[in-house]
């Protein structure tokens, strides 16, 4: 009887491990204050920079992705010159090195509002005190639009630049940027991901090119306010992906469903003490290889937005699809 019980336990354990997600990688130092992280490494000295939502965009640095992370201050301590509500509490940074200049895209909005705009700041080093706010990029929304211009993400395709953005309403859109991507190249935009059900809860897109495909990662579900009201089980943030051979559309999930018709394959969802992972990005780490990074709630710490923790995992691939 003991043998039979042990055999059943082993089968259950094996089945659960097949469907399990890896726990986040090591993190030391200041690992909270990590909502909507953007991760980049300065090539001149190998310093890691982590930018996150809140105030003038918090900056943390570390010698490695594992830490120890140290808070340095705000990128834009006076906020944005964009004249909208929320311009001193900036969201969803997205940082890239273009030529010899670092570009920091950010969103100006207030929670639940469609009165939003995407701004840009630049720096030659990323250090606190070196950022210059350039203000509006020309990507903005209001109640007349079918999209919301938050959660910016830039991708370069050859000599062209595209900015992905969006949240709820009709979800994720894309616009062409100028050859120097400080401004949009026009007002035309097009939908690249849309969840037809419920409140259309998709946002936080991040596009990444790998092995012949453009992978569109995005966060689906409810992101915030878990300390006061948690959504139904499974309705919290999770990380999804679709892919296409083009950066401008045609994204499908692993089952062949269009990303514009509620498609999306789960990459990472709540598990163990990890709750509501999202706000993700992809980074090629010199030590750990290709990683996905994100914020999450550690249920042993707390559910408040200010307690969101920085997480990361190495990515593995199977038949052209990522997993952790």
What are the catalytic residues? 36, 203
Residue 119 contacts by C-beta under 8 Å, 6 or more apart in sequence? 80, 81, 82, 90, 105, 106, 107, 108, 133, 134, 135, 136, 137
The residue ranges of DSSP E strands in 19-62, in sequence order, are 38-41, 48-52, 58-62
Estimate to the nearest angstrom the gap between the alpha carbon of 217 and the chain centroid.
Answer: 8
Rounded Cα distance between 178 and 193, Å, is 23
Backbone φ and ψ for 143, nearest 5 degrees, come out as -70, -10
Residue 143 three-state SS: coil
Which two tokens mark 33? 């204050």
> Of all helices (H) and strands (E), which one includes residue 18?
helix 2-18
Dihedral sign for Cα atoms in the order 28, 33, 38, 43? negative
Which two tokens mark 305? 């937005």
Rounded Cα distance between 89 and 79, Å, is 7
| Residue 270 near residue 309 (C-beta atoms within 8 A) | no
Q: Which residues pair with 69 in a beta bridge?
A: 29
Rounded Cα distance between 21 and 311, Å, is 13
């Amino acid at each position: 009887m003991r043998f039979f019980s042990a055999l059943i336990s082993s089968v259950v354990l094996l089945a659960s491990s097949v469907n399990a997600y890896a726990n986040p990688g090591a993190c030391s130092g200041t690992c909270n204050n990590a909502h909507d992280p953007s991760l980049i490494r300065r090539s001149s000295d190998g310093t890691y920079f982590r930018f996150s939502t809140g105030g003038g965009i918090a900056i943390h640095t570390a010698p490695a992705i594992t830490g120890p992370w140290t808070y340095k201050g705000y990128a834009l301590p006076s906020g944005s010159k964009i004249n909208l509500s929320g311009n001193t509490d900036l969201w969803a940074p997205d940082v890239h090195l273009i030529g010899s200049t670092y570009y920091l895209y950010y969103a100006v909005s207030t929670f639940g509002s469609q009165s939003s705009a995407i701004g840009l700041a630049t720096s030659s080093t990323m250090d606190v005190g070196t950022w210059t706010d350039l203000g509006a990029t020309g990507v903005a929304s209001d109640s007349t639009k079918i999209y919301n211009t938050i959660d910016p993400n830039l991708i370069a395709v050859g000599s062209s630049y595209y900015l992905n953005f969006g949240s709820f309403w009709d979800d994720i859109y894309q616009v062409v940027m100028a050859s120097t991507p400080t401004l949009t190249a026009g007002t035309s935009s097009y939908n690249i991901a849309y969840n037809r059900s419920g409140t259309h809860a998709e946002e936080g897109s991040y596009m990444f090119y790998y092995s012949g495909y453009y992978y569109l990662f995005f966060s689906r579900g409810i992101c915030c306010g878990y300390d006061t009201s948690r959504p139904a089980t499974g309705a919290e943030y999770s990380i999804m992906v679709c892919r296409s051979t083009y950066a401008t559309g045609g994204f499908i999930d692993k089952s062949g469903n269009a990303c514009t018709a509620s498609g999306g394959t789960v990459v990472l969802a709540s598990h163990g003490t990890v709750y509501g992972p999202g706000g993700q990005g992809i980074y090629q780490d010199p030590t750990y290889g290709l990683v996905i990074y994100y914020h999450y709630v550690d249920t042993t710490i707390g559910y408040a937005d200010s307690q969101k923790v920085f997480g990361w995992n190495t990515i593995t691939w199977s038949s052209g699809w990522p997993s952790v």
